Amino acid sequence: DAGVIQSPRHEVTEMGQEVTLRCKPISGHDYLFWYRQTMMRGLELLIYFNNNVPIDDSGMPEDRFSAKMPNASFSTLKIQPSEPRDSAVYFCASAYPSTDTQYFGPGTRLTVL
Amino acid sequence: DQQVKQNSPSLSVQEGRISILNCDYTNSMFDYFLWYKKYPAEGPTFLISISSIKDKNEDGRFTVFLNKSAKHLSLHIVPSQPGDSAVYFCAASVTGGFKTIFGAGTRLFVKA
C-alpha cells in the first residue's frame, strides 16, 4: 500500500496567488482529514470528510480556504488568495470507519512570500 | 481554546533513561486518547492509544497512563533510544466522532 499521497511536497508562491494542495487517501478509507501544522498552534484540524461529504469544516480559518472531495480517491485544499500567514505544513490523513487511528501523508510545506 | 495541551515544547533525555511526555485535556467528553510520533519531513504516525475505560496501556517500550480525574495522560518510553528523537503529539477524541484534537507537540531529544 502506497499510503496517503500528497502533492506537491513543497510549494512556494507569492501573496495573492491561488494555491491548490492535493491528496490521495488510502484505498478503502472512508474518512479524509486536512490539518495544518504551525509552530504556534501545533496540528490543527481544518476539515474532514466522510464518504466524500464534508462533515465538519469549523477549523477552516477563512473563506479564502476551501476543500473538495469529488471522489473517494482524491481531495483538494485550495487557498485563494494566499497570504504570508498561510505559510505552514499542510497534512492530509485518512482513516477506516471502524477505527480512530489516522494515517497521515508526508505533508505539503507551503511558503507564501 | 486549546482542548489538548502539551505544556513542554521540548524534552532532552539520556539514552537508556526514561522519557516522560505529558498531556492535559479540558473536554470531559473525550474518551479516546492517542499518541503520534513525527519525524522531520514525514507525517505523524500512530504510536499508541488508550480508551477511557483503562488507566494504562503498554506496547513494548511505550506505556500510556491515563488519569481521568486529573484529565491528564502521559507517555513513558523505557529505555529511551536515539531513534526515539522526534516530535510527539498527544491527541483526543470522542469514540466514533472522528474529530481528533491534537496538542501542539513535544520535541524529544534522546542523547547517545
- Which has more pLDDT, A1 or A67? A67
Average pLDDT estimate for B53-80: 97
Nearest to B77 by CA among B64, B90, B92: B64
- pLDDT digit string, tens, across residues B5-16: 999 999 999 999
Q: Which residue has the cell 513542554?
A: B8
B-chain CB neighbours of A104 within 8 Å are 36, 43-45
- pLDDT digit string, tens, across residues A62-76: 899 999 999 999 999
Length of chain B: 112
B40 → chain A, closest CA residue:
A106
Chain A interface, mutation test: which of B21, B64, B100, most A Cβ atoms within 10 Å?
Answer: B100
Res. A84: pLDDT tops 80? yes
Distance CA B46, CA B50 (A): 12
Res. A1: pLDDT tops 70? no
Can you give the pLDDT at residue B99?
83
For residues A74 and A49, is the Cβ–Cβ distance under 8 A? Answer: no
Distance CA A48, CA A61 (A): 14
- pLDDT digit string, tens, across residues A2-46: 899 999 999 999 999 999 999 999 999 999 999 999 887 889 999
Distance CA A15, CA A80 (A): 10
Average pLDDT estimate for A42-65: 92
- Tell me the three cell numbers of residue B111: 542523547
Can you give the pLDDT at residue A41?
81
Res. B97: pLDDT tops 80? no
* A42 closest CB neighbour out of B32, B95, B103: B103
DSSP codes joined into one string, A17-61: --EEEEEEPPTT--EEEEEEEETTTEEEEEEEEETTEEEE-TT--
The verdict on a CB contact (< 8 Å) between A56 and B99 is yes
Q: Which amino acid is present at A24?
A: K
A-chain CB neighbours of B6 within 8 Å are 42
Confidence band of B1 (pLDDT split at 50, 70, 90): low
Kindly report whether the peptide bond that precedes residue B79 is cis, defined as omega within 30 degrees of 0: yes
A-chain CB neighbours of B32 within 8 Å are 100
B-chain CB neighbours of A41 within 8 Å are 104
The verdict on a CB contact (< 8 Å) between A95 and B104 is no
A25 reaches B (C-beta below 8 A): no
For residues A33 and A45, is the Cβ–Cβ distance under 8 A? Answer: yes
A-chain CB neighbours of B99 within 8 Å are 45, 48, 56
Distance CA B8, CA B39 (A): 18
Can you give the pLDDT at residue A57?
93
Can you give the pLDDT at residue B75?
98
A47 → chain B, closest CA residue:
B99
Can you give the pLDDT at residue A49?
95
